Amino acid sequence: MIGRRELVGAAAASAALAQLLYNPARASAASGPVPKVPDWMQPRGADGRLARLESLDLESQQDFTAGFRLMQNKNIRASSAAAFDRALAERGVPPKAMLTAEEVRSIADSDPVINMAAKAWLTNQLLMWKTLQDHFHGNADHYLSELEAGDRAGPGVLELNPSMEIPAYARHEIHIQPGGYVGDPFAGHIYHYGTNSFYVGIATFYSGMSLTGNDQDQVHESTASRLPIPADGKVNRILDMGCGVGQLTVALQERFPEAEVWGIDVGGPMVRYSHARASRLGSKANFAQRLAEDTKFPDNYFDLTTSYILHHEVPAEITRKIIAEAQRVTRPGGVYYPLDFITGGVRMPARSMYGRWWDHRWNNEVWSLDYHAMDFSAEIAQRGFTMPANPVVALPGLGARYAIKTA
């Protein structure tokens, strides 16, 4: 049911393990030979693109939490939404009335039936993270050794920047993932396995896509295949900002096998995992720990610059800096196409705003409301890009921000 992610990691929360993450030489000296894998945790092959979890118990636990998520999405959330609609009716508020997040919160807080979906979801989410973290913590030496071996693998290159100052905004635990993207040496592995669960039932969210999950990178491969290219057809260099675990990065490398492709992310653990995974898949995509708002690449370097659901997870002022940086590094005539949710202002139809507020409140999407309050497309258009009248839709359900850099 849940895609078995390729593993190279666990959640080790100690400072000592963090030191090992950022100093491979010290890790090598400290850990010595690769530890013998216990008999109960032998490699179990791969399910297509995804390495299976090495423990059948953990795999079963993840299947359970994914199944519960599906039930919650289809049944419990429907009951909660019906209770919310009744609360609107009791107050004489039309279902399509435009409400603010605060107005929605005041209604939702008044009814425990409305909030039962949040409680069920939250408990399941915490259980999902905990089972992954416990497993990786308990076998940290083994997974650290795998990571260390991955650092030296090719054909792509890996750049870690342990002295980089991590911005405060990047330290938040988005999705309530323990340690977030930067605070756990195994953040990439935990994120990958955990987000497979997120995609269960995705076909009901992204209309027009017959997907039941993302354990084979279906969403990212489909997105990469739809991304528009410059009018002159030249795609020699590609940048994936905020690449996470590199699924879109690798998919773009597969679509453009001769191109120089870079995935960057503020999280060292994320790009470390991305590189190891790409190497296992035979991809020559490159990964670097860098900021999307300060990529360090030369001016006009990339033909295609993109990102996948990055902007709703950063403050609005950082989004504006990232757009400016994309303008700087994309060549004249090049394409900038950031994929993220459609923005709807500070007021939205009641049910839609309830979902937006819910995600902000319970999924720890700290800046989601600020993101949705801005006109994302307008922010791009006023920073040196031309927006085509009929933009290509690269992923149904997300905004089509097809921008061409002007000379």
b/e burial code for range 129-150 (CB count within 10 A of at least 16 → b): bebbbebbbebbbbbbbbbbeb
List, for residues 344-395, the tens digit of each pLDDT value: 789 999 988 988 898 999 999 999 999 999 999 999 999 999 999 888 999 8
Query: How many domains are contained in the chain?
Result: 1
Determine contact, residues 158/149, Cβ cutoff 8 Å. no
* Residue 38: domain span: 15-207+217-407
Among the listed ranges 18-27, 56-65, 247-256, which one has the minimum average pLDDT value? 18-27
Share of the chain above pLDDT 70, in %: 87
Mean pLDDT score, 212-222: 89
Distance of CA 357 to the CA centre of its chain: 19
Does residue 5 belong to any structural domain of this protein? Answer: no
| CA distances from residue 4 to 7, 57, 71, 181, 334 in whole angstroms, order as listed | 9, 12, 20, 20, 36
Among the listed ranges 75-79, 155-159, 230-234, which one has the minimum average pLDDT value? 75-79
H/E run at residue 251: helix 247-255
Residue 182 sits in a domain whose CATH number is 3.40.50.150
Share of the chain above pLDDT 90, in %: 68
121: pLDDT confidence band, cut at 50, 70 and 90?
Answer: very high
Does residue 1 belong to any structural domain of this protein? Answer: no
Q: When comparing pLDDT for 45 and 298, which is higher?
A: 298
212: pLDDT confidence band, cut at 50, 70 and 90?
Answer: low
**HSE-up of residue 164 (Cα within 13 Å, Cβ side):** 21
For residue 135, pLDDT over 70 is answered with: yes
Does residue 4 belong to any structural domain of this protein? Answer: no
Neighbour count for residue 226 (Cβ, 10 Å): 15
Average pLDDT score over the chain: 87
For residue 227, pLDDT over 80 is answered with: yes
Residue 41: the pLDDT is: 56
Between CA 328 and CA 127 the distance in angstroms is: 43
Does residue 9 belong to any structural domain of this protein? Answer: no
Mean pLDDT score, 100-126: 92
List, for residues 143-170, the tens digit of each pLDDT value: 999 999 999 999 999 999 999 999 999 9
Does residue 6 belong to any structural domain of this protein? Answer: no
Does residue 342 belong to any structural domain of this protein? Answer: yes
State the residue for tokens 């699924």.
247
124: pLDDT confidence band, cut at 50, 70 and 90?
Answer: very high
Residue 126: the pLDDT is: 96
List, for residues 254-291, the tens digit of each pLDDT value: 999 999 999 999 999 999 999 999 999 999 999 999 99
Pairing relation of β-strands 158-159 and 237-241? unpaired
Residue 42: the pLDDT is: 62
The amino acid present at 149, given as its one-letter code, is: A
Pairing relation of β-strands 302-308 and 330-339? parallel
Alpha helix positions (H), 47-151:
56-71, 77-90, 101-108, 112-138, 140-151
Between CA 406 and CA 330 the distance in angstroms is: 10
5: pLDDT confidence band, cut at 50, 70 and 90?
Answer: very low
List, for residues 310-347, the tens digit of each pLDDT value: 999 999 999 999 999 999 999 999 999 999 998 878 99
H/E run at residue 161: none
Q: Which two tokens stand for residue 174?
A: 């988005």
Among the listed ranges 51-65, 173-187, 197-211, which one has the minimum average pLDDT value? 197-211
b/e burial code for range 234-267 (CB count within 10 A of at least 16 → b): ebebbbbbbbbbbbbbbbbbbbbeebbbbbbbbb
What does pTM read for this prediction? 0.87
Q: When comparing pLDDT for 396 and 91, which is higher?
A: 91
DSSP 8-state secondary structure symbol assigned to residue 11: -
Which among 401, 394, 224 has a CA at the least distance from the CA of 323?
401
In degrees rounded to 5, what are phi and psi of residue 362? -100, -25
Distance of CA 19 to the CA centre of its chain: 25
